[in-house]
């Protein structure tokens, strides 16, 4: 929150502390160099939006404005891990005033005259919560983000263990070690499945880094709003006229995702994908969306209500309703409903959508190897290569209100294994695929899924026996004509109602 307008002297002082030129400040703030120069010379005061942007840019870089000048803030950064995952925690302090950091260390570690130590293993004891409440009350006026830390810890069960890590964990295998430690601390009397898990996942974690973004709470991937932004799909920036005003979903909202947002997708690309690419996969998976009761946009409380000619299928929140004039029942009691034709789609657009989801959550330092992939994805460039097949299966997994995306990025520079493997999960429906045209791949990945090295590495996929391989290479339109069969079984929690 901005308390008062900054002055020209404060801007000059802040630039001096950061060792930034006027050009560098203008670039970081996304304003003209003349705006900064004229302001500092006292020739004109920037319009409110530009002044606010300059002030927030300097504050984000670590500057604290004081009367008549500026002071440089320092960060103590930790990574907080509990049963819900990891989040970053920053504690800001002035170099000449270490009260905040010493008080913080008094709660989570030890303080001596020449050393501050933060303990790795923490427990949400009543005493710790009491100390934290006092600390946040004292410092939240200047560090309001501490309220989030307080809420996170107060939401933990009494005496529940959590970890404070001094750095992020880029290695998936190392993260797994910390997760196992935390699980053992909080579940000392439960049998450990570590050996079984290691047997299944050690190979893939040793050879791949894992990206598994959460979709159950608000998260942004790539750069944050306010920074100079560059679209990862078309390369447009705020300085070249691209706008970033729309809310870009890393996974389509039609698949239940309302929290995982992508900051580096410009409005033009957002509209292109939303109008021309993503509808194909949504249409293809409409039946699955109905059966799962996935809530997205639209009427019917966001639950899909799909028309197939004069026929339809919908989920009313309690049951599945199928409206069809072509229903039959065989001697064993199996009901078959044949619906009319749906919207025509291009299978290659479905593949592009899955690739778009994976690209959206990948670390930015990996994108350079996908220059051709991104061109194919965004601009639909012609290609002579047959796309690798999509492996699909139905697996009894825990339900989730949103689709999930998992991305495996190979650590080795050269290998026969695919550079990037991705998994899209919609409830019990699983789709495993690779990103085509990567510079990290040395072959066309045809039949990669059945390659012995792949199956030995991705053992959790090899354990699933019912895979179907689908070819989504074609740019020719096809019609979707669904046929629904329901067998009498006590396993169905939701039985469709046929009209």
What are the residue boundaries of the structural domains of the chain, listed by start? 8-67, 74-192
Give the span between the Cα atoms of 406 and 437, in whole angstroms: 19
For 186-272, list the strands marked E by DSSP. Answer: 208-211, 219-221, 260-262
Mean pLDDT calculated for residue range 5-16? 82
Give the span between the Cα atoms of 350 and 281, in whole angstroms: 5
Closest among 306, 299, 268 to 284, alpha carbons compared = 306
Residue found by looking up tokens 């966001």 in the block = 302
Query: Is the confidence at residue 53, as pLDDT, over 80?
Result: yes
Residue 12: the pLDDT is 85
Residue 148, helix vs strand vs coil? helix
Residue 105: the pLDDT is 83
379-408 residue pLDDT tens = 987 666 789 999 999 988 777 889 999 999
Q: How many angstroms from the chain centroid is the CA of residue 380? A: 25
Query: Is the confidence at residue 52, as pLDDT, over 90?
Result: no
Which two tokens mark 62?
Answer: 């670590």
Q: How many CB atoms lie within 10 A of CB 217?
A: 10
Residue 359: the pLDDT is 97
245-267 residue pLDDT tens = 898 999 999 999 988 999 899 99
* Mean per-residue pLDDT of the chain: 84
Instruction: Flag the least confident range among 2-6, 132-136, 396-400.
Output: 2-6
Give the span between the Cα atoms of 164 and 77, in whole angstroms: 10
Mean pLDDT calculated for residue range 297-321? 78
Give the span between the Cα atoms of 361 and 262, in whole angstroms: 8
Mean pLDDT calculated for residue range 430-455? 94
306 Cβ partners below 8 Å, 6+ apart? 286, 287, 289, 290, 312, 313, 314, 342
Query: Is the confidence at residue 496, as pLDDT, over 70?
Result: no
Residue 358: the pLDDT is 97
Task: Give the sheet arrangement for strand 335-338, strand by strand.
Answer: 327-329, 335-338, 483-486
Task: Pick from 224-228, 341-345, 412-416 the range whose average pLDDT is largest.
Answer: 412-416
Mean pLDDT calculated for residue range 183-201? 72
Query: Is the confidence at residue 181, as pLDDT, over 80?
Result: yes
Instruction: Flag the least confident range among 11-20, 221-230, 306-315.
Output: 221-230
Mean pLDDT calculated for residue range 266-293? 93
Q: How confident is the model at residue 306 (pLDDT cuts 50, 70, 90)?
A: confident
Query: Is the confidence at residue 423, as pLDDT, over 90?
Result: yes
Residue 498: the pLDDT is 40
Helices (H), 187-277: 194-207, 267-272
Residue 254: the pLDDT is 92
Instruction: Flag the least confident range among 66-75, 415-424, 445-454.
Output: 66-75
Mean pLDDT calculated for residue range 25-30? 87
Mean pLDDT calculated for residue range 15-20? 81
Mean pLDDT calculated for residue range 456-479? 91
276 Cβ partners below 8 Å, 6+ apart? 349
Give the span between the Cα atoms of 253 and 259, in whole angstroms: 9
Task: Count CA within 13 A, CB hemisphere, residue 226.
Answer: 12
Q: What is the sign, positive or negative, of the torsion defined by CA atoms of 241, 244, 249, 253?
A: negative
Residue 494: the pLDDT is 40
Residue 319: the pLDDT is 83
Using an 8 Å Cβ cutoff, are 82 and 182 in contact? yes
Closest among 91, 72, 69 to 80, alpha carbons compared = 91
Residue 493: the pLDDT is 38
Query: Is the confidence at residue 173, as pLDDT, over 80?
Result: no
Q: How confident is the model at residue 191 (pLDDT cuts 50, 70, 90)?
A: low
Task: Give 200 or 242, the one with higher predicted confidence.
Answer: 242
Using an 8 Å Cβ cutoff, are 449 and 469 in contact? yes
Residue 202: the pLDDT is 82
Residue 227: the pLDDT is 58
Task: Give 423 or 301, the one with higher predicted confidence.
Answer: 423
With a threshold of 0.85, does the pTM exceed it?
no
Query: Is the confidence at residue 1, as pLDDT, over 50?
Result: no
For 340-401, list the strands marked E by DSSP. Answer: 390-394
Residue 134: the pLDDT is 93
Residue 2: the pLDDT is 40
Mean pLDDT calculated for residue range 447-468? 92
Q: How confident is the model at residue 19 (pLDDT cuts 50, 70, 90)?
A: confident
Domain 8-67 has CATH 3.40.50.1390: no
Using an 8 Å Cβ cutoff, are 434 and 420 in contact? yes
Share of the chain above pLDDT 70, in %: 86
Task: Give 103 or 404, the one with higher predicted confidence.
Answer: 404
DSSP string spanning 242-298?
----S--BSS-GGGT-SSEEESS--HHHHHHIIIIIHHHHHHHTHHHHHHHT---SS
Q: How many angstroms from the chain centroid is the CA of residue 457? A: 24
Inter-CA distances, 454 with 354, 379, 460, Å: 20, 31, 11
Task: Give 302 or 121, the one with higher predicted confidence.
Answer: 121
Instruction: Flag the least confident range among 159-163, 354-358, 475-479.
Output: 475-479
Output the CA torsion 289→295→299→304 (10° steps). Answer: 0
Residue 387, helix vs strand vs coil? coil
Mean pLDDT calculated for residue range 327-334? 84
DSSP string spanning 166-184?
SS----HHHHHHHHHHHHH
Give the span between the Cα atoms of 60 and 345, in whole angstroms: 45
Residue-level length of the chain: 499
């Amino acid at each position: 929150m901005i308390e008062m307008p900054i002055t020209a002297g404060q801007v000059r002082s802040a630039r001096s502390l950061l060792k930034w030129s006027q050009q560098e400040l203008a670039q970081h703030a996304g304003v003209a160099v003349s705006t900064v120069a004229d302001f500092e010379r006292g020739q004109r005061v920037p319009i409110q939006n530009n002044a606010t942007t300059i002030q927030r840019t300097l504050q984000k870089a670590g500057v604290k404005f004081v009367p008549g000048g500026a002071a440089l803030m320092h960060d103590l950064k930790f990574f907080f891990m509990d049963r819900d995952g990891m989040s970053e925690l920053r504690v800001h302090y002035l170099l000449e005033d270490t009260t905040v950091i010493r008080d913080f260390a008094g709660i989570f570690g030890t303080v001596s005259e020449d050393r501050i130590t933060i303990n790795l293993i923490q427990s949400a004891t009543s005493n710790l919560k009491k100390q934290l409440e006092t600390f946040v009350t004292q410092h939240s006026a200047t560090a309001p983000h501490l309220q989030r830390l307080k809420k996170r810890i107060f939401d933990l069960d009494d005496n529940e263990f959590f970890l404070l890590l001094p750095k992020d964990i880029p290695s998936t295998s190392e993260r797994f070690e910390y997760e196992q430690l935390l699980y053992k601390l909080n579940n000392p009397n439960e049998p450990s499945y570590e050996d079984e898990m290691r047997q299944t996942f050690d190979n893939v974690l040793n050879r791949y880094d894992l990206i598994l973004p959460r979709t159950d709470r608000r998260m942004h991937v790539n750069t944050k709003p306010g920074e100079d932004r560059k679209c990862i799909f078309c390369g447009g920036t705020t300085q070249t006229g691209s706008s970033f005003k729309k809310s870009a979903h890393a996974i389509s909202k039609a698949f239940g995702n309302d929290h995982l947002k992508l900051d580096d997708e410009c409005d033009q690309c957002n509209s292109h994908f939303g109008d021309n690419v993503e509808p194909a996969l949504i249409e293809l998976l409409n039946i699955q969306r109905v059966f799962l009761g996935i809530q997205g946009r639209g009427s019917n409380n966001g639950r899909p209500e799909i028309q197939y000619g004069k026929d339809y299928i919908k989920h009313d929140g309690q049951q599945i309703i199928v409206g069809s004039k072509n229903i039959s029942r065989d001697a064993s009691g199996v009901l078959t409903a044949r619906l009319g034709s749906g919207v025509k789609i291009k299978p290659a657009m479905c593949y592009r959508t899955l690739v778009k989801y994976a690209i959206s959550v990948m670390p930015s330092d990996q994108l350079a190897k996908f220059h051709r992939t991104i061109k194919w994805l965004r601009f639909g460039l012609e290609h002579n290569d047959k796309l690798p097949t999509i492996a699909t299966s139905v697996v009894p997994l825990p339900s989730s209100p949103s689709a999930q995306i998992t991305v495996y990025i190979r650590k080795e520079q050269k290998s026969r294994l695919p550079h990037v493997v991705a998994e899209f999960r919609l409830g019990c429906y699983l789709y495993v695929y690779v990103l085509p045209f990567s510079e990290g791949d040395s072959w066309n990945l045809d039949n990669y899924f059945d390659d012995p090295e792949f199956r030995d590495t991705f053992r959790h996929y090899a354990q699933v026996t019912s895979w179907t391989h689908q070819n989504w290479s074609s740019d020719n339109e096809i019609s979707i004509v669904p046929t629904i069969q329901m067998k009498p079984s006590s396993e169905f929690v939701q039985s469709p109602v046929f009209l």
